[in-house]
Structure formats: structure tokens, C-alpha cells
Structure 1
Amino acid sequence: MEKFKLYQSGIHYSNIYFKEDGVYHEKLDIYSNEFEEIAILSEDDNKYYNENYRINIYELKKKLKSYSDTFKKSYKINEKFDTEYKEVYSKLDDFTYVQRNKKFPLDIVVVDNNVVGFICVSRENCTVLIEEGYESYTPLKMWEENIPNEKLYGIRFDGTYMVKMRDGISLSTDVFLPINVEENIPTILIRTPYGKELIHSTYYKYIQRGYAVVIQDVRGRNLSEGVWDPCVHEREDGEDTLNWIASQSWSNKRVGMIGGSYLGYVQWAAASSGNPYLKALVSIVTSGSPFIDLPRRGGSLLSGVMAWAFAVSEKKFNPSLMMRDDWDEILNIRPLKNISKIALGYDIPFFNKWIDHKDHDSYWETQNWHSRKEKIKVPALIVSGWYDDDHMGTTQALDIIKDYDKNNRKAVLGPWLHGANTTRDINEVEFGNNAIRYDLDYYYLSWFDNKLKLIDNKIDKGEPVEYYTVGDNKWKTSTNWPINNTITKTLYLNSNKDAKTSLGDGRLVEECLNDGYDAFNYNPDNPAPHIIDMSENEIASPGNYVDVEKRDDILCYTTEAFKEEMTITGCVVVNFFASSSAKDTDWVVRLTDVDKEGNSTKLVDGVLCAKYRNNFTEPEFMEEGKVYKFTIKTTNISNTFKVGNKMRLSITSSAKNFIFPHSNTLNGYDSNEYITAENTIYHGKEFPSNISFEVEIDS
């Protein structure tokens, strides 16, 4: 019989016994804080472990012997090899083998050539399944060293409350409390549009550690009253909920918030109210202001958010509505208000509002938490990835905390998608074995303990920023973001009027040379691709654009091969001068790293609708043929260009599956009428189009 102990975020939740006649388990009763009697593992039990810990126990039992045989062989650090189940593994260190090419990988712990445990991580949890006595070879060592002899509590469900907002609408709110705690306690608040019951178990670990946990359905969602209008009411509703928590008999009036994506947005919205009870944020892949992030990036309308809009179009979250094989046809429907009618059979009222409010008016400004940044003073731990489709939201959050005292800000920025910290490979782009962190859940708890319980646990000491450099595949630290040890480098666009495609003569050079221009025809009926899978709801993935860049509606400007390595860290700013035969169009810029084989891997991109070149509130249409200056700031990246690689800037006017194609008419992206536009980029001393970025230097 083999006995394994299952932990999540440092808490022992179950014992798993692999016997010849089957699998048995004894599970922690979280309410009494005592273990249940040993029992055979049923199909329902296995489903429970798979859903809550992302470990399929039955499947693992079948593989254990094969794993033991495989890992008795000698492998080198970073060496890749396959198991008989066609899984790819690579050696991280002396005791850990990490799984590649898989979301939520199952990493393996090996001691003295024996398989003794497994590790699986997500955005908010790290799960360890380990043979008793080998805990110190896993992330559990970190928990034991920093929180020894931790006291854990049983859980009491206090009830579901309909909490009344200032306008009389009541929001369904679940309250959980630790049992046998006499004093008033701090609270962790989670507000979600996805159904609060779906995430109860994610936050049990905080209740077990002496926190009240309050989970609320936002307005119009699941069991809450009101009309669902994304982001519109979250500042006021967040503040009213904070006030309600502070008024409860069990509350010590110190509240923290946690969550990712929309659950991150509601944190910053609440913080922008200036509420005095909000003392800590754990902001994970947060969404930002509507015209900077979603859904109107740069004034263009992101078609990539349609999958999300479908999933939240009903009262209850329905992710199956994202899974379609006809997205190409759906996204071509005009007018846009007909998309949901044809695809789903009903209107999506909030999407219709997005269409009706064409410019940045009061409707959009209500959702703009960043514009109220002078009221945001809450200590914040920020987590995001370079390829997070909400990374512009994180950029805005980083802008807010950059002036905080050092001990009130922390950021972890990795090579991750929106589903952060869950994969080491994206679209055949490989990162290091160290790309996934085992310590994020420890950071989250430590941040709350420090800011809500006022425990001096050193989480606020050391360098506040940790970031991952792609190419070097290294984690680095910095005092702030943007990082300090950089110099600004500017490269200028240049060509002999033939920058079309990557095979043209477009160059990025260090000196502003002769005047010139490059023109391309943008046909909205044939937009350039943006490499994503719509059903995955990940619209910022890296990808190889080598084939896309062969299109003649894409201008490419490329450096010579680098003779020395160069690391850029931060956002990229593209300043360019352009004209169009149309009164309005879109501009899309993309920076790629071109390797010696010619693969062109996307690093960052940016979008701007031409009429919003000066501001989003007062659109200014172009005059045909007149030259205008445009500036686009991209998302952030840290990337090392290797010797022999090249940097490439591409400029075009479309990105299919990312933004709805601009019609080149005054009706923008929502028009049945399309016209082809001749769009021209100018460069040289009169029109010094350029790209600037921050290059790391030795500090």
C-alpha cells in the first residue's frame, strides 16, 4: 500500500491510499476540521479531486508504475523526454520533473530515482500530492518554514444574504466564518459575475486561517437582482458591499479583495471609491478602462471579446456558448447587433449598448476606474502575464501603484496568458521550465496576513517587482515598474518604398534617413489574421506570424541581425506619420522577435482607431491624403533578442478575431458598406516615424 498526502496552499486536505484492490481516501471535513473515515474512492470522489485539485486519481494509479520505471533513468537539467503516455517532461532541478505542452501540468517529484509526489498549479492554488516524509522536497517546505505550527479552523456557512445597494437593488451574498473565533476578524471579499457557488472551494483556505470570506454575485448575475451591465455599477456596488461588511458584528472593518479578470476589475472599481475599509488588493490579470483595455481598445471594438459576451449573455454563466466552430461566419454578421440574434436567438442588451455608445461618453467614463486614481490608495499585489489579453488593465494598475511606498506594492509578471501560471508552452512558443511559479498562493495569503492581520511576515520586504525575461528564461527583480536600469532606444522606419511583406525592404535603423513612404491597400473584406482560437477566449497569445507577414497589406520594418544580445523591458511606443484615402481607418502595430530560421514570434501589439488619435471623447476624421501623427503604446514585455535574431515592426489596419474590421467609412466597424482604403506610412526627416523601447543595462 502506498499512502500519499494531498495538500493545497499548504493545507492537508486528504490522504490517498493506492492498494492492489483499488484506491482509498480519507478526506478532511472542512466544517469540523477533522478527517473522515477511510473509504474507497468512488467515481464521484475522483471527479471531485479532478475538479478541485486538477489531479485525476484513477488515471494516476494506472500510470504510477510506468512513471517509476521512466524516472529511474538519468536525465540532465532541461533535458526533454517522453513517457509512454506521450507526455513530455523536462528536468527542472534535482528532484522535480515538469510537464511540457499542457495546461495545468502535473509535475513529478523524484527522490533517489523513486517517484514520491506530484505538483499541480493554477492562478490561485498550488496542489501537492506527496508520500509522507517527503514534504520537504516540495513547495510545502516554504509553507512549513514560514508558517510553522499553523492553527487551522473549521468552517461555518453563515448564510446567504440579500445585501441592499443604494438604489434598492439587492445582491446575493454568501458569508463564511471560521468556527470558534471569538474576536472580530478581517474579511476577504470576492465579487463575481460567474456564479459564486462555483468558486466557494477556492477560498476555503482563507476561512480555515481565520478570515471571514464573503462571495457575492454582481448585479444582474446568478442570484442577484438588477440588470447586468458589465462594469457600470461596480464602483458603487463595491463600496456599498464594503460598508455592509464593516457593519457586521463579526467584522473588524479591515477588508481585502482577490480575484482575476472581471474579479480584478471590481477590486479597482471599489478602490476608486476611496472606501476606508478596503485595506488590500490581490489583483490577478485585471481588466482595465474600456477604451484602453476592453472592450474598446484604442477606440476599436474587440471582436475577441464576443466569446466572453456569449458566455455571460444568460443570467447564469454558460461557458459552452463560447465553444463554436462558426466564429468566422458569426463575426462577419452586420449590423453587429444581429450577431447574437442570429447566433444565439436573442439580444445581448449590454453588447447593444457597446454599439450605441460609439465615443468615450459618460457611459464609458463611469467604468473608468483609472481616471479616479487619486482616490486609490489601497496596498496592492498585482499578478499578470505578458500575453494576458487584459494586460492593458494591469498596465494601468501598475501605473497607480508606482508611487506607493515600497512596502505597499508588489507585482509578479510572468510569461503567461490570461489563465496565468498554468502553462510553459503557448502556441508552440516555449518558455523555461521555471515559467510556472509554485509560490503565488503563498504570496496571496502572506499579503493578506500582512495588510489585514498586520503580521510582519516580510512579504513587503525585498524588491517589489518580480518579472520574467523571455529568451533568457530568467526571473528578475526590480524596485519598481517601469524598471529603473534601462536606457531608451529609438529606431526609425526606413525603406525604398517597398516595405510590403517581410520580404520587402522595410528597415528599422538607428538614424533618421531619407524621406520616403510605404503604401498598402486595406480591404475590410479580407482582414489580416490575428493568431488565436476564439473558443479558447485567449486573445493575446503569442504566435508565429511568418506566414501572416507575407501579405501585401502588411508593412514590415526589420533590423539587421543583432551582433550582441539585447533585452527590452516595458511597453513599446510606436510614433508614426500616416495618411489614408479614407476619412477613418484602424492602425494595428505588432512587434516580433525573428529567429535565425525566420520564425516571427509576436511579443506585443497595439491598436488605434484613426479618429481617436488625439483623444477618445472628440473624434476627428481625416482629410484624404493629409498626413497625421499617431502614437500607439503597446502592452508590456521583457524579451532578450539573441545574437542572430532580428526585431520586426509590422503595421497594418486589421487583425481578424482581435478587432472587428474597420469599414473605412464613417460608420467604422459597424457598417454593411465596405470600401478599400489606401493607407500610407511616411518616414524620414520630415516625418520621423519611429519605435522606442527600454533596453536593460547593467545596474
Structure 2
Amino acid sequence: MRTLRAMILIVSVLAALLAQAEKIEFTYTALGAKIGTSTLERQAEGTFRSVTEIKVANVEVRSELQGRLVEGTLTEFTLDQTVQGTRAVISAKDGKAKIVAGGQEREVSYAPTRVFFSNYHPFTTGTVADAFNPSVASSQKVDTFVIDALTAIPIEVVAKLSQRIEVGGKPLVAKVHNLKFPTVAFDVFTVEGEGVVAWDIPTQRTTIVRLGFEKLVEDPTLKYPELSKPEFAVKIESNVRVPMRDGVELAAEVIRPAQEGDYPVILVRTPYGRKPSAIEGEWWARRGYAFVSQDVRGRGESAGEWTPFVHERDDGFDTIGWIEKQPWCSGRVGMIGGSYVGWVQWWAAVERPAALKCIVPQVSPPDPFFNFPIDHGVPMLLGAIWWLRVVEKPSPDSSIFTPFSKPEALLSLPLASIDDELLGKNIPFFDDWLSKESSQAFGRVNFHPDLPKVDIPALHISGWWDGDGIGTRLNWMAMNRLKKRNQHLIYGPWTHAFNTTTSIGDVDYGPEAILELQSVYLRWFDHWLKERDVWKGQPTARVFVTGANEWRELAGWPDPSSELTTLYFRSVGGLSTIKPGSEEPDRFTYDPAKIAFEPKDLEINPADATTVLNIKRTDDDFLLYSTGPLKEPMIVAGPIEVELHFATSARDTDFFATLIDKDPDGIRRLIAVPGKIRARYHRGFDRPELLTPGRTYKVTFPIWDTAHEVEAGHSLEVLISSQSFPSFARNLNTGEPAATGTRMVAAHQTLYHDRNRPSAIRFYGLPPKTP
């Protein structure tokens, strides 16, 4: 069972073990609203019982952990846990441990341990904090046994500055440690004689606190007197039916101030279940906003047929029109949300509903031919299939986190059969996506052609490692080209689950990598919806420079102070600012029938993830170009693009470009998400044309945005290849349609870099940060 990947991961930590019987109670709070409690009872002889009950919208958790500690060592335990109706029982005694879940049983050996953790039990993580030795180092790895998974993982523990607090008139000092799990980091507060008293999980906007210690985890927005305060009682209306123009009714939660009046409205439209989003509604309602969270058509409790993308323009427009007519609406509406929930904002915006005044698209895709489900002509594979599993039921459940039963089916051909093989059913809209062989085939789903009509402010948010990050790049650049005003950008060192962890694989960017965004959102909506002058002075772009591991506030993206830099591919694998003269081309071979793929590669533990690229220079299926060791540091910033002059033996093929930082020890690390293109689109994405073998072509395509400092002594490298399976579908090189092709041939690729065919990479060099 992969409890660490549960849809809602709420972590907590320990109150110190006392010698006498005791009862300790904690309160779980999310966005200022109570969502659960945890009660720990401990006896002097070492037995304990911890019961946690949490309800977040329609997600319910009940977890009971019982066990025995002998001189601080966990000798036996039983964890009985039900999450969303799915029960698991995990137990250990006499050196044996077993898990019973979903009708299956697994047994492993168990060695009693002093350092252990369970997701929903506040007392356990304190054993991790107790294992920290302040005399050794301020940052230490602590091996921790995770009860929920019956496995041990290293947890990084970092000492932070202590905080002073007064409780019951008595001044106390709380020590603070940051615990970094593979998927989340949080602060643990301990007081001598009291044990652990509070936990702050800012990325989940969740706290767990003992009575009297609330000030340790106070709402950060309260620090800004100019922003809206939590002054209103709240009224909640559930399953409100919102009619669309065709008579279909969509389900919504309406959370607003209880006091009669007209209020600005924040709208969230989601395919992932409206109730989890609605938990934020109470936080906003207390600050004088109405909050509407809606299931999109065919999802959750909304009527109609679920076909991704197709109805979002009209349904978004109709929903905002309905909101505008409500007596509690001031006539000003904003939207916020990530991924698909960011996408729907753009579809609504291009329809120009009068009441829509601003949007906050987070990790939002662009038009569907340029990221998801197709990326510059190359069909997304693993991510697309995973998303199909998320949305193929009316509401997502915990099964989306289980491994594929037949991962080898990813190699199935034709491509349109993969949903049948992996999911056991045909998903018609997946087949429809694959059949589209040009950007314009998506019709009204494309919103970029209509962006000239969008004149509202937008706060674009994404991360360098976001799987939809190319969307933020393309959406931002389009609005920039159109000279649209009041566009702002935040780029962090984050994945699609943005602003949730300081680490990507085995690289930690430091505690500053996490931003306190709630006050940013409140400031944004106070300014544009309440028409308060509180956004003045905010930077146009705020980006995190990896390598240097620091935030930069910029006047634009690209920043006006940055310099466009071109590095040309050269013979013998060189990368230089000097244009080439007469040089021989380079060659490699891509054979889709010889892709190396092991199903176990899909089962990577987050703790084992890495940005390291293991490249064998003896392989003949890629080319590598390098600057050699730099004499001075260089900050590589976006937008970045690659220009390739090539010939191939095939009728069609793909090219991928990967940006790398190589250190003096020869370790290569990925520093940006690779760019890609299907070569048949060399004339444009609405003009596919198969290739003539041996003829020279040119393609230009983006590497995804980044800002990274390559240190002196390091090398900047570019790797050119023709596949990234299983993330993306293989090009079979025959020119057959992507959906139905089955025949494979090898492609012999020739890459030119001479005076008339200068293959190159272009990026913006960002100057060093001024003191």
C-alpha cells in the first residue's frame, strides 16, 4: 500500500513520551477550518492508543494505532486505517509484520525500532525529531520506519530558529525542526516539558496544534494589515444546481458570508471533485468573498456527458453569467486553480464574460497540441494514460495511485489500443485525441487564437519541473507578445504539485524554495475584485534560480537586463558562441523496436528519485554537445529554443533536446524539462508533411523554461535524441498515422552544424544578482 501517495497526505508529529499515563489531544486545521482531531492515550507501562478522525469535504479518514514501547523501542503495533472507505490493517509482533488490504496480504520481517512514523498519528513523527542530534550538524538524515508502508526511508531533519511564545502567562521557548519527507516538508515545534506542541504544513495549508499553542502557526496573511481580515460568519449551500444554455445542470458548492450583501466571487471549476476545493471556500468567505466550487460537466454530481475540453468555453461563460445574477454577487468574479482547473480559466476568459475581472491559472496547459495530450506533435503516453485513469470514473478514488497491472502494455501497437490494454476499456476521447494530426483539428478547444480578446489581469504560476510547464511559458509569451497589461508570473523549482516541497529527487533547493502564496492570492483578489490598491509594487516576474538557489524579482520574462545568447553545435561535440564554418555532420540511429523498457522502472520510490542522467558515451542513439568547463558562472534563463538542421532516412521521426549541467566529477544533471518536436511539422503545426529521406530540413522548438546558474568549472551540455519512452509515445518512423501505425523502421539521423546549416541553442543570460 502506498499510503505516502494518498490523495490527502496530512502529517503530524509527537508529543514527548512521559513516564505517567496521559491523554493528549490535537486539532487538525486546514485554511483556518477545523477538519479533525487526534487523541493519544499512553500508559506508564509503555502501551499507547492513538485515534485520528479527519473529514475534508467528502474525504474521510479514521485511523487507529495501538502498540507497545519498551524503553523507547516500538516492539509491536497494529494500525487499522480506513481512507475513503478503503480499509487496511497493518500489524507487527515477534519480528513479523503484515499488511492486509484490498483482499490481499503481504508479510515481511520486522526489526523493532526507535524511529517510526505513521501518516495520521501525531505522536509518531516525534521519534524522528528525537533522533536529531544538535551537536552533530544542523541538517541530518534520520532513517525512519514508515508503518503505513512497512518500509524504512531517510528523512532529512533541519534545525531552525527557535520561537518564543507565552502560554497561560508563562513564557516558553519552542524549538523548531523541519522534517523533509520525499513528498512534503513541514515544521515541528517542541517545548521542553511539553513535548511537541504544533506542526505547520504550509504547502498543504494545514496545522496540527495542542490547545494554547495556536500562535505558533498563525495565519500568515494576518501580518498584512492592508489585506482583508477574517471578520465574517459563513453560510454554506451544497449541491446548488447551475443551469447551462442547453439545460444541463452543473453541481456547485456556494460558500459565502452569512451576512446579506453583495460580495466579489472566486470561482473554481474542476473535474476532480468540487468538495475538496470547497474547503478553501470557508477561508475566503470569512474574508468577505463568496466562493463557488463547481464540478465540470459530467463529473462528480454534475449532469451531462464528460468529454474533456469540449464544453469548457460555454460552460465557463454560462456559470459566470449565472453567478453575476445572484443577489450575493458584486458583479466582480475571479478564478483560481491548477492544471485542468487552470485550463478552464483560459477557456472562460476568451469568451469575455463581463463579470470576469482576473484569473490565477496555476500549472495550466496551453492549447492541447503543444503539451497535453500531444506535445508539439508527439503524443504524451504515460501521463495521458494516468490522467485517463483519474477521470474515467465520475469521481477519482484511491485506485489511481495503484500501479498498472500490465505496464508492458505501454509497448502495445497500435497506439489507440493502449487504453484498452492498460485500463481494460476503450476511452473514446483518447482515440479521438490520437486521431488529430494538426493543431487546428482541436477546433474551439484551442484558446490561443482568441487570446487577443482577453484583457483581464492574470497571475501565471508554474514550476521548472511542472509536467504542464510549457503551458505557462506559451500562455505567458502569447500575452506578452500581445502587450497585455497586468500580467504577472511566478516560477518556482517545483513539479506539477507546485510549492509543496523544497526537493526534486536528490536535489534540495533549500527552505526558501517554498513561497507563502496565500497572502499573494489574497492581495491579488483584494486588488482586482475589491478594488483596493494593494498590488502596487509587486514584481512582474518572480523566479527561482536553481544552482544559486535564490529568488529573483524581475521586470519581465525574459528580463530586460538579460542578454540573448546563442551557442552553436560544433564538431567533436562542442558548444560554442563562435559560428561554425565548414564542418562534417554528426549521426546517430534511433530504432523504436529496440527501446529498453523495464516495467519496474515505473515503480520509483520518491525517496530514490534523481535528476542525474546516466549517459553511456558508447551508445549510438544520441548526440551530446558541451561548452566544456566554464571559466565564470553563467545563468541560463528562458525562454529557450533549439534550432536543428537535419536529414533522416525515415519518412517521419522525433527530436528531443535535453539541457544538462555537468559538474567537475562528471555527474550530469537535468536542469530543465526537455523540448521535443515531431519532424513532420517542420512547416508548421497545421501543415504536416512527411519527410523525403536524405533531404535537409530545419526545425525550431522550445526547451521548457528554467533559470539555472551553471557554476564555474561546470559544463553546460545539450543532448539530442529521438525518443523519451514511456513518457512519450515512440515515433515508428514510417509516417503512418500515430493512432493506427504498427510498422517500425530504424531512422538514421544526420545533424548538421556548418556555415549554412548552423544548429544551435538560444537562451537568455541573466546577470548575477546585485547585492
| Range into which the TM-score falls when normalised by the shorter chain | 0.7 to 0.9
Does residue 1:98 correspond to 2:178, yes or no? yes
After superposition, the C-alpha distances for 1:496-526 in whole angstroms (9 at most, x for unaligned) are xxxxxxxxx3111221233211111111122
Shift of 1:387: 0.3
| Partner of residue 492, structure 1 | 568
| Partner of residue 646, structure 1 | 715
| Partner of residue 675, structure 1 | 745
| Partner of residue 527, structure 1 | 595
| Partner of residue 445, structure 1 | 522
What CA distance in whole angstroms lies between the structure 2 residues aligned with 1:410 and 1:520? 42
Aligned with 1:592 (options 660, 668, 674): 660
What CA distance in whole angstroms lies between the structure 1 residues aligned with 2:711 and 2:37? 57
Aligned to 1:337, what secondary structure does the other structure show?
helix
| Partner of residue 237, structure 2 | 158
Matched residue type, 1:241: T
Does residue 1:354 correspond to 2:433, yes or no? yes
| Partner of residue 168, structure 1 | 247
Shift of 1:45: 4.1
Matched residue type, 1:612: Y
Q: TM-score, normalised by structure 2?
A: 0.78
Residue pairs, 1:276-315, within 5 angstroms: 276-304=354-382, 305-315=384-394
Q: Say if 1:106 and 1:120, in contact at 8 Å, map to a contact too.
A: yes
Q: Say if 1:300 and 1:659, in contact at 8 Å, map to a contact too.
A: yes
Distance 1:109 1:507, change over 3 A: farther
Matched residue type, 1:543: T
What CA distance in whole angstroms lies between the structure 2 residues aligned with 1:648 and 1:530? 27
Distance 1:537 1:264, change over 3 A: farther
Aligned with 1:692 (options 736, 753, 762): 762
202-211 vs 565-574, which deviates more? Answer: 202-211
Does residue 1:316 correspond to 2:395, yes or no? yes
Residue pairs, 1:517-666, within 5 angstroms: 517-527=585-595, 543-547=611-615, 551-604=619-672, 605-666=674-735
Shift of 1:429: 2.4
Shift of 1:112: 9.3
| Partner of residue 121, structure 1 | 202
Shift of 1:549: 6.2
Aligned to 1:311, what secondary structure does the other structure show?
helix
Does residue 1:473 correspond to 2:549, yes or no? yes
What is the CA RMSD across the aligned residues, in angstroms? 3.6
Q: Say if 2:26 and 2:208, in contact at 8 Å, map to a contact too.
A: no
Shift of 1:337: 2.5
Residue pairs, 1:407-418, within 5 angstroms: 408-418=486-496
| Partner of residue 11, structure 1 | none
What CA distance in whole angstroms lies between the structure 1 residues aligned with 2:346 and 2:604? 26
After superposition, the C-alpha distances for 1:655-686 in whole angstroms (9 at most, x for unaligned) are 01221000001215442110111111011112
| Partner of residue 498, structure 2 | 420
Matched residue type, 1:560: G
- Percent identity reads 28
| Partner of residue 112, structure 2 | none
What CA distance in whole angstroms lies between the structure 1 residues aligned with 2:180 and 2:188? 12
Q: Say if 2:464 and 2:494, in contact at 8 Å, map to a contact too.
A: yes
What CA distance in whole angstroms lies between the structure 2 residues aligned with 1:386 and 1:523? 30
| Partner of residue 269, structure 2 | 191
After superposition, the C-alpha distances for 1:136-163 in whole angstroms (9 at most, x for unaligned) are x667455234368934333222242332
After superposition, the C-alpha distances for 1:524-549 in whole angstroms (9 at most, x for unaligned) are 122377999757999xx972212366
Does residue 1:506 correspond to 2:573, yes or no? yes
Matched residue type, 1:425: S
Shift of 1:261: 0.4
What CA distance in whole angstroms lies between the structure 2 residues aligned with 1:139 and 1:108? 14
Aligned with 1:67 (options 125, 129, 141): 129
What CA distance in whole angstroms lies between the structure 1 residues aligned with 2:405 and 2:526? 48
| Partner of residue 334, structure 1 | 413
What CA distance in whole angstroms lies between the structure 1 residues aligned with 2:593 and 2:634? 39
Matched residue type, 2:121: E
Shift of 1:564: 0.9
Distance 1:99 1:522, change over 3 A: same
Shift of 1:627: 0.4
Does residue 1:482 correspond to 2:558, yes or no? yes
Distance 1:259 1:493, change over 3 A: same
Matched residue type, 1:659: F
Shift of 1:165: 1.7
| Partner of residue 88, structure 1 | 156
Q: Say if 1:542 and 1:602, in contact at 8 Å, map to a contact too.
A: no
Aligned to 1:416, what secondary structure does the other structure show?
coil
| Partner of residue 143, structure 1 | 222
Name the count of aligned residue pairs.
Answer: 664
Distance 1:488 1:91, change over 3 A: farther
What CA distance in whole angstroms lies between the structure 1 residues aligned with 2:60 and 2:460? 24
Shift of 1:594: 1.0
Provide structure 2 residue ranges, at least 5 long, that are not aligned to the other structure: 1-14, 42-48, 62-82, 84-116, 146-153, 164-175
Q: Say if 2:649 and 2:747, in contact at 8 Å, map to a contact too.
A: yes
| Partner of residue 13, structure 1 | none
Aligned to 1:361, what secondary structure does the other structure show?
helix
Matched residue type, 2:453: K
Shift of 1:92: 5.2
647-656 vs 310-319, which deviates more? Answer: 310-319
Shift of 1:345: 2.4
Q: Say if 1:70 and 1:83, in contact at 8 Å, map to a contact too.
A: no
What CA distance in whole angstroms lies between the structure 1 residues aligned with 2:444 and 2:391? 21
Distance 1:367 1:29, change over 3 A: closer
After superposition, the C-alpha distances for 1:443-491 in whole angstroms (9 at most, x for unaligned) are 11221122111223x3342323211100011111011222122111111
What CA distance in whole angstroms lies between the structure 2 residues aligned with 1:390 and 1:29? 27
Matched residue type, 2:254: V
Distance 1:44 1:211, change over 3 A: farther
Q: Say if 1:17 and 1:24, in contact at 8 Å, map to a contact too.
A: no
Aligned with 1:225 (options 295, 299, 303): 303
Shift of 1:115: 5.9
Q: Say if 2:40 and 2:50, in contact at 8 Å, map to a contact too.
A: no
What CA distance in whole angstroms lies between the structure 2 residues aligned with 1:537 and 1:205? 34
Aligned to 2:313, what secondary structure does the other structure show?
helix
Shift of 1:267: 0.8
| Partner of residue 346, structure 2 | 268
Matched residue type, 2:287: R
Distance 1:572 1:256, change over 3 A: same
Aligned to 1:681, what secondary structure does the other structure show?
strand
Aligned to 1:396, what secondary structure does the other structure show?
helix
Q: Say if 1:383 and 1:413, in contact at 8 Å, map to a contact too.
A: yes
What CA distance in whole angstroms lies between the structure 1 residues aligned with 2:617 and 2:311? 42
After superposition, the C-alpha distances for 1:554-602 in whole angstroms (9 at most, x for unaligned) are 1111111111111111122111100111111111111111112222111
Q: Say if 1:17 and 1:23, in contact at 8 Å, map to a contact too.
A: no
Distance 1:285 1:536, change over 3 A: farther
What CA distance in whole angstroms lies between the structure 2 residues aligned with 1:34 and 1:667? 56
What CA distance in whole angstroms lies between the structure 1 residues aligned with 2:28 and 2:592? 58
Aligned to 1:279, what secondary structure does the other structure show?
strand
Q: Say if 2:648 and 2:750, in contact at 8 Å, map to a contact too.
A: yes
Shift of 1:111: 8.0
Distance 1:483 1:558, change over 3 A: same
Q: Say if 1:531 and 1:543, in contact at 8 Å, map to a contact too.
A: no
Distance 1:531 1:445, change over 3 A: farther
Provide structure 1 residue ranges, at least 5 long, that are not aligned to the other structure: 1-15, 496-504
Shift of 1:327: 5.9
